[in-house]
C-alpha cells in the first residue's frame, strides 16, 4: 500500500460530492423507493453505476440511512413545540441529556444566544407537554424554560443537498440553487 492511498481515501471522505452525487442525493432525499434503473434514468446513469454511487455515498456517510418519514398526527402527536432551556452552569449534564430517551424529544441542541439548550418536542397534547416540562424542571441545573408552541407548520423537511449560490440577493429576488 502506498502512502497516497491513505491521503486519497481521507480526501475522498471529506471531498466535495461531484454533481452526479448531488443529483442522486436530490432524488433519494425525495423518494428512496425508486429502483436503481429509475434512479439511473433520472440522473443519466446505468442501474449498476447508480447502485455503485449509492453504495459509495452510504459508505462515506453522506447517506446516513434510509428511513420512513411518518405523519406525527397519525401516531397521535399533534402538538409540536420548541423549548429553550436555561441552565445554571454547564448545560450538558447526563441528567439533562437523559430526556433524549423520550420518544417525544426529537432534537437536543446546545446553542449560542440567550438560551443554553434548545429542544424540539412533539407530544400528544398540552397535557403531555406539561408532563415533559415537569420532567425538565425536576432535572438538576434547569433554571428556566421558554416554550414556543407551534401553531402551524409551513415547511418541514430533512436536510437538502442543494445550496444557494448568490447570497446577498436584491429585494424580492428568487434565490438560485445548484445541485438540481
Partner DNA sequence: CATAATGGCCGAATGAAATTAAGCATCAAT
Partner DNA sequence: ATTGATGCTTAATTTCATTCGGCCATTATG
Please give the residues from 25 up to 64 whose contact with its own copies meets the rule CB under 8 A.
25, 28-33, 60-64
Task: Tell the burial category of 128 from Cβ atoms under 10 Å away from its Cβ (0-12, 13-18, 19+).
Answer: middle
The DSSP string of 14-36 is HSPPPHHHHHHHHHHHH-TT--H
Number of residues in contact with its own copies under rule CB under 8 A: 91
Check residue 169 and report its DSSP letter.
P
Residue 75 engages its own copies in binding (rule: CB under 8 A): yes
Query: Which is nearer to its own copies, 38 or 106 (by Cβ)?
Result: 106
Task: Locate 53 and state its grid cell.
Answer: 454511487
CB 179 within 8 Å of CB 161: yes
Instruction: Decide whether 3 or 101 has the Cβ nearer to its own copies.
Output: 101
Q: Which is nearer to DNA, 28 or 102 (CB)?
A: 28
Q: Are 156 and 115 in contact (CB under 8 A)?
A: no
Q: Give yes or no for residue 172 binding its own copies (CB under 8 A).
A: yes
| Partner from DNA, its own copies, none contacting 40, C-beta within 5 to 8 A by type | DNA
Cβ nearer to DNA, comparing 52 with 107 = 52
Binding site for DNA (CB under 7 A): 2, 4, 8, 20, 34-37, 40, 44-49, 51-53
Query: Cβ 17 to its own copies, closest distance in Å?
Result: 7
What burial letters (b/e) apply to 38-49, b meaning 16+ CB within 10 Å? ebbeebebeeee
Positions in 103-132 near its own copies (CB under 8 A): 103-115, 118, 122, 124, 127-128, 130-132
CB of 9 to DNA, least distance (A): 8
Could you give the CA distance from residue 118 to residue 14 in angstroms, rounded to a whole number?
29
Q: Quote the CA–CA distance of 106 and 122 in Å, as a whole number.
A: 7
**Using rule CB under 8 A, residue 146 touches its own copies:** yes
CB of 95 to DNA, least distance (A): 41
Amino acid at each position: 500500500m502506498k502512502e497516497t492511498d491513505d491521503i486519497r481515501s481521507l480526501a475522498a471522505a471529506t471531498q466535495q460530492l461531484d454533481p452526479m452525487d448531488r443529483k442522486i442525493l436530490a432524488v433519494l432525499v425525495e423518494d428512496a423507493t425508486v429502483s436503481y434503473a429509475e434512479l439511473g434514468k433520472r440522473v443519466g446513469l446505468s442501474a449498476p453505476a447508480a447502485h455503485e454511487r449509492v453504495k459509495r455515498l452510504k459508505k462515506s456517510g453522506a447517506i446516513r440511512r434510509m428511513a420512513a418519514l411518518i405523519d406525527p398526527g397519525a401516531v397521535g402527536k399533534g402538538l409540536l413545540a420548541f423549548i429553550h432551556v436555561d441552565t445554571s452552569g454547564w448545560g450538558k449534564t447526563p441528567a439533562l441529556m437523559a430526556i433524549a430517551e423520550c420518544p417525544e424529544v426529537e432534537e437536543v441542541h446546545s446553542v449560542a444566544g440567550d438560551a443554553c439548550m434548545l429542544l424540539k418536542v412533539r407530544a400528544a397534547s398540552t397535557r403531555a407537554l406539561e408532563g415533559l416540562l415537569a420532567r425538565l424542571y425536576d432535572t438538576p441545573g434547569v433554571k428556566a424554560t421558554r416554550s414556543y408552541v407551534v401553531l402551524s407548520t409551513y415547511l418541514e423537511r430533512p436536510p437538502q443537498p442543494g445550496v444557494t449560490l448568490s447570497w446577498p440577493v436584491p429585494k424580492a429576488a428568487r434565490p438560485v440553487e445548484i445541485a438540481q
